[in-house]
């Protein structure tokens, strides 16, 4: 008799509603957790990106994505000190020893490198303790930069020649992109009129 009572429409409906309630609460909890985590990750990425932009363009206090018509850069941000354009932060990808190297290069309005940051840690391990000193060699340079040869060359890091060449090629690409930058739309403003 007990088995028959467990299968009555009323009991089945109660159990079904209980399962739906548990499922709904679980999905709601997971959604809230995802949103909270998503916001934290987005905030962390924004802070990390802002810090990198500040590294390659230290005097800037505002950055703005710009429209560009060039396939070589991954991204370009105009860098400003208040309303004065200081230059551009150009993200490019070069091919290194272990694969692709993403770098961010600051280029002044005079066409000179203001800073370089490697965005991929894996490839840059080959540069070892000389990494920061090597990247600093690019500051103030313009034009096409080579490694170990020519007038406009930087010395390669010993044991990391291919990586050094890839970084130099990436920096040269960023310089070329800025030299040939054709801004059609100017700055992009957000909804509140901020750069």
Mean pLDDT of 125-142: 83
User: With 90 as the cut, is the pLDDT of residue 171 above it?
Assistant: yes
Q: For tokens 């150009």, what's the residue?
A: 90
- Residue scoring higher pLDDT (192 or 163): 163
* Full-model pTM: 0.70
Q: Which residues contact 124 (CB under 8 A, 6 or more apart)?
A: 101, 118, 131, 163
Q: Which helix (H) or strand (E) holds 12?
A: helix 9-56
pLDDT in tens, 16-73: 888 888 888 888 888 877 777 766 666 667 677 778 888 899 999 988 888 877 788 8
- Buried b / exposed e across 126-163, counting CB within 10 Å, b at 16+? bbeebbeebbebbeebbeebbbeeeeeebebbeebebb
pLDDT band at 183 (very low <50, low <70, confident <90, very high): low
């Amino acid at each position: 008799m007990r088995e028959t009572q467990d299968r009555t429409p009323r009991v089945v409906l109660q159990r079904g509603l209980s399962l739906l309630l548990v499922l709904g609460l679980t999905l709601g909890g997971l959604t809230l957790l995802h949103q909270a985590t998503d916001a934290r990750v987005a905030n962390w990425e924004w802070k990390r990106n802002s810090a990198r932009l500040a590294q390659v363009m230290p005097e800037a206090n505002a950055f703005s994505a710009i429209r560009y018509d060039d396939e070589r850069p991954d991204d370009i941000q105009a860098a400003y000190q208040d309303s004065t354009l200081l230059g551009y932060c150009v993200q490019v990808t070069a091919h290194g020893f272990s694969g692709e190297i993403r770098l961010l290069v600051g280029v002044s309005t005079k066409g000179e490198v203001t800073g370089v940051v490697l965005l991929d840690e894996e490839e840059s391990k080959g540069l070892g303790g000389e990494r920061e000193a090597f990247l600093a060699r690019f500051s103030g340079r313009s034009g096409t930069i080579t490694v170990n040869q020519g007038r406009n060359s930087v010395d390669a890091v010993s044991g990391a020649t291919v990586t050094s060449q890839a970084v130099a090629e990436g920096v040269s690409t960023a310089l070329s992109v800025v030299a040939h930058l054709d801004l059609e739309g100017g700055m992009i403003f957000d909804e509140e009129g901020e750069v």
